[in-house]
Amino acid sequence: MEVRIYIMIKLQNVERSYKTGAGQTWVLRRIDLSIREGEFITIMGPSGAGKSSLLNVLALLDDQWAGEYWFGEQPVHEMKRKERAELAKRKIGMVFQSYHLLDDLTVQENIDLPLSYKDIPRGQRQGMVAETLDHFQIVAKKDLYPNQLSGGQQQLVGIARAVIHKPALLLADEPTGNLHSSQAKEIMELFTKLNREGTTIVQVTHSEVNASYGSRTIQMKDGWLAGDTGNPALAQPGSAAGAGVAPGGLQSGEAVGS
């Protein structure tokens, strides 16, 4: 029986740099990465390795990079800013460490926000919000404001808002960075559930425990991809092949991790 694997995202030779003074600082170096539909990927690496920069490229929040970015059959690198924004709105949900909820909107209004930018009839919108509140078991909190919730509950709302439009791809930047371990566990169990329901997930985390919920771990160092459990050809640092992948970036025996 033929099993078809769909590539959702393909990055080829993606680079990102910032002008600093007279020079240039490189934050992403020759990134080649394929993300298959249904994967749950964790990006790890020391602070400053480029994890958030990579996530921002994937999220289409950044458009100042070079190289090729394919979203399915669509060449993102050839799109105009408006087309990229449209693609992001339809296909991508984003979760942040600091929740990014609007303080003067209730839980229900925060969750409705992404729908309010779309051409969806009011009745249908209300139905989607009710269904999401129920799915996330936060119906009782719907009229509360973010500052009346615990951190874990605020992040649940952040995730509910990110997935209410049923994005194919959910991106999360240190989603449990501000949470206790029991709250983090709840968030990771929710990610597992969303992944099983078909959402492809890419999370950035320093936590080995969080990484253990994923199906593939990518290591970054100094802007380079330095390891990938889904791509044995990208050797772990310390080996001769690893040094070849990241020229000048890695020392023999140097650990890469959180």
Instruction: Copy the structure tokens of residue 35.
Output: 């993300």
User: Rounded to whole angstroms, how far apart are CA atoms 208 and 13?
Assistant: 28
Cα separations in angstroms, 199 against 7, 36, 97, 245: 14, 11, 20, 30
Site size toward ligand ADP, by CB under 6 A: 12
What are the Cα distances from residue 198, in Å, to 80, 99, 159, 187? 29, 23, 15, 17
Using rule CB under 6 A, residue 218 touches ligand ADP? no
Q: How far apart are CA 191 and CA 199, in angstroms?
A: 9
Sheet holding 169-173, edge to edge: 92-96, 169-173, 200-204, 40-44, 216-221, 224-228
Distance in Å, CB of 8 to ligand ADP, minimum? 22
Q: Which of 47, 64, 147, 182 binds ligand ADP (CB under 6 A)?
A: 47
The region of 51-59, 113-121, 122-130, 157-165 touching ligand ADP under the rule CB under 6 A is: 51-59
By the rule CB under 6 A, 91 interacts with ligand ADP:
no
Task: Please state, in angstroms and rounded to a whole number, the distance separating the CA atoms of residues 228 and 234.
Answer: 6
Judged by CB under 6 A, does residue 153 bind ligand ADP? no
* Binding characters for ligand ADP, 184-203, by CB under 6 A (x = yes): --------------------
Q: Tell whether residue 25 is a contact of ligand ADP (CB under 6 A).
A: yes
| Cβ contact 69:77 at 8 Å | yes
- Contacting residue, 35, 41, 44, 49, with ligand ADP by CB under 6 A: 49
The minimum distance between CB 129 and ligand ADP, in angstroms, equals: 32
Conformation bin of residue 7: beta by default, left when phi > 0, alpha when psi is -120 to 50: beta
Shorter beta-carbon distance to ligand ADP: residue 46 or 152: 46
* Ramachandran angles phi, psi of 124, nearest 5°: -65, -40
Q: Give least dist CB 177 to ligand ADP, A.
A: 11
Interaction between residue 50 and ligand ADP (CB under 6 A): yes
* Options 41-49, 81-89, 175-183, 240-248: segment touching ligand ADP (CB under 6 A): 41-49
Of residues 25 and 98, the one with the C-beta less far from ligand ADP? 25
* Nearest-angstrom CA–CA distance, 244 and 235: 9
Asked whether position 227 contacts ligand ADP by CB under 6 A, the answer is no
**Any contact of residue 29 with ligand ADP (CB under 6 A)?**
no
Among 7, 13, 48, 124, interactor with ligand ADP by CB under 6 A: 48
Considering the complex, state which of residue 143 and residue 254 has its C-beta at the smaller distance from ligand ADP: 254
Cβ distance 195 to 149 under 8 Å? no
